[in-house]
Chains A and B, each alone.
Chain A
């Protein structure tokens, strides 16, 4: 189909007339998957510093992998079956982002490593994720508040990286934008529901924000660590990401009858490998099977 595709999408007759010439007998459900990197040139453009690009991919990949692992920990433990699937879906979106980012990192850092080498065979001090994502899940309110903060910041950052000069990172970021938009919406719905809910749900959400507030500044600073030379223009740089992140958080929290408490920043700097004590046990569990069976395939 041509440029009329979007308009035709809702036209029942035309969408039927499109036919199913791909030979898939089960055309009605679950078809039409696409590779987000299809046709993207993997050569590093001359203007892009390969090692800086690798550092960006590694940091954003680590954020996604560790956040994904924490979300996976909700499996069999979520308060409702429906929420359990929702949290697992979000975790899988982030895992997908991590895989593509690690793969790009391996292409450009000169080591030619595969994604598994980054996920399973690095020590905690070699991880570059922000501390926010490695904190234990706590209760549902804390996990939801964390998801709101993370997805708001990550969306602000990746929506700008979709215009970066490395075509692969730009494609990965463009793929992530609708995913993160949904994560943010999902988390915002729940933050408002809990903040504006019962006395108990409000108390728990307020406590969660108080616990997480010290970790927000690291994200906003990490934007600068993440994107040296990639996001230079003032309207797309660190300050813009900071402004959008805090603006969206304020808007959601105001609707929930909450605010982000002023608290001193936590002393961790994940982009420099300085982590909380919570990262090592998380990685031990994440990496145990791959390390026990290093040649296994799945």
Chain B
């Protein structure tokens, strides 16, 4: 559990807001193909979330682009659905296009 979730007390004695919503952060690296989920953070609004993401997740020159999205806006598959969702693809090797010749100058296939 992060400090933000348990609500820290500032020096001035007033409790900090524990109700800032959670955001998920996605960063595209300099030479990265796409945005990668790197973590989450708390922020009061979208602008603050981007600012926080810049400070928390690109401090070491990692990124050229940031996406943030409210965690509550992500629809995710659940563990209960794991088998009906994913098991049917496990035995269908013929769906992989392994028989193509790939030119040398095409990267990341």
Chain A residues packing against B (C-beta within 8 Å): 9-10, 12, 15-20, 27-33, 77-82, 85-86, 89, 139-140, 182, 186, 189, 193
Residues of B within 8 A of A (CB-CB), count: 35
* A89 touches which of B8, B41, B59, B64 (Cβ 8 Å): B59
- Alpha-carbon separation in the docked complex, A12 to B33 (Å): 6
Q: Which residues of B contact A18 (CB under 8 A)?
A: 31
- Alpha-carbon separation in the docked complex, A20 to B30 (Å): 11
- Alpha-carbon separation in the docked complex, A20 to B48 (Å): 34
A30 and B16 contacting across the interface, CB-CB below 8 Å: no
Tell me whether chain A's interface is mostly helix, strand or loop, or mixed: loop
B8 and A80 contacting across the interface, CB-CB below 8 Å: yes
Q: A79-B10, A186-B51 are in contact. Are A28 and B31 (CB under 8 A)?
A: yes
Q: A29-B29, A80-B8 are in contact. Are A16 and B108 (CB under 8 A)?
A: yes
- Alpha-carbon separation in the docked complex, A92 to B17 (Å): 27
- Alpha-carbon separation in the docked complex, A186 to B55 (Å): 10
Q: Which residues of B contact A182 (CB under 8 A)?
A: 54
Q: A30-B60, A189-B48 are in contact. Are A80 and B16 (CB under 8 A)?
A: yes
Q: B4 at the A/B interface (Cβ < 8 Å)?
A: yes
A85 and B31 contacting across the interface, CB-CB below 8 Å: no
Q: A28-B32, A32-B61 are in contact. Are A139 and B12 (CB under 8 A)?
A: yes
Subset of 6 A-B contacts with CB under 8 Å: A31-B61, A32-B30, A79-B8, A79-B10, A139-B11, A186-B51
- Alpha-carbon separation in the docked complex, A43 to B41 (Å): 47
- Alpha-carbon separation in the docked complex, A17 to B106 (Å): 8
Q: Which residues of B contact A193 (CB under 8 A)?
A: 44, 48
Q: Which residues of B contact A12 (CB under 8 A)?
A: 33-34
- Alpha-carbon separation in the docked complex, A16 to B30 (Å): 9
Q: B3 at the A/B interface (Cβ < 8 Å)?
A: yes
A81 and B30 contacting across the interface, CB-CB below 8 Å: no
B64 and A9 contacting across the interface, CB-CB below 8 Å: yes
B55 and A16 contacting across the interface, CB-CB below 8 Å: no
Nearest 9 interchain pairs by C-beta: A30-B60, A86-B55, A82-B52, A79-B10, A29-B62, A28-B29, A79-B16, A81-B3, A16-B107
Q: Which residues of A contact B11 (CB under 8 A)?
A: 77, 139
Q: B2 at the A/B interface (Cβ < 8 Å)?
A: yes
For A139, the closest partner residue in chain B by CB is B12
- Alpha-carbon separation in the docked complex, A109 to B104 (Å): 57
Q: B47 at the A/B interface (Cβ < 8 Å)?
A: yes
B31 and A15 contacting across the interface, CB-CB below 8 Å: yes
A82 and B4 contacting across the interface, CB-CB below 8 Å: yes
Q: A16-B33, A79-B10, A81-B4 are in contact. Are A86 and B61 (CB under 8 A)?
A: no
Q: Which residues of B contact A29 (CB under 8 A)?
A: 29, 60, 62
Q: How far is the CB of A191 from chain B (nearest CB, A)?
A: 14
For A13, the closest partner residue in chain B by CB is B107
Q: How far is the CB of A261 from chain B (nearest CB, A)?
A: 22
Given contacts A28-B30, A85-B55, A139-B10, 19 further A-B contacts (CB under 8 A): A10-B64, A15-B31, A16-B33, A27-B31, A29-B60, A30-B60, A30-B61, A31-B61, A32-B61, A33-B61, A77-B11, A79-B16, A81-B4, A89-B55, A140-B10, A182-B54, A189-B47, A189-B48, A193-B48
Q: How far is the CB of A264 from chain B (nearest CB, A)?
A: 28
For A204, the closest partner residue in chain B by CB is B12
A30 and B62 contacting across the interface, CB-CB below 8 Å: yes
Q: How far is the CB of A171 from chain B (nearest CB, A)?
A: 19
Q: A77-B10, A82-B56 are in contact. Are A20 and B31 (CB under 8 A)?
A: yes
Q: Which of B33-60 contact A (CB under 8 A)?
A: 33-34, 41-44, 47-48, 51-52, 54-56, 59-60
Q: B85 at the A/B interface (Cβ < 8 Å)?
A: no
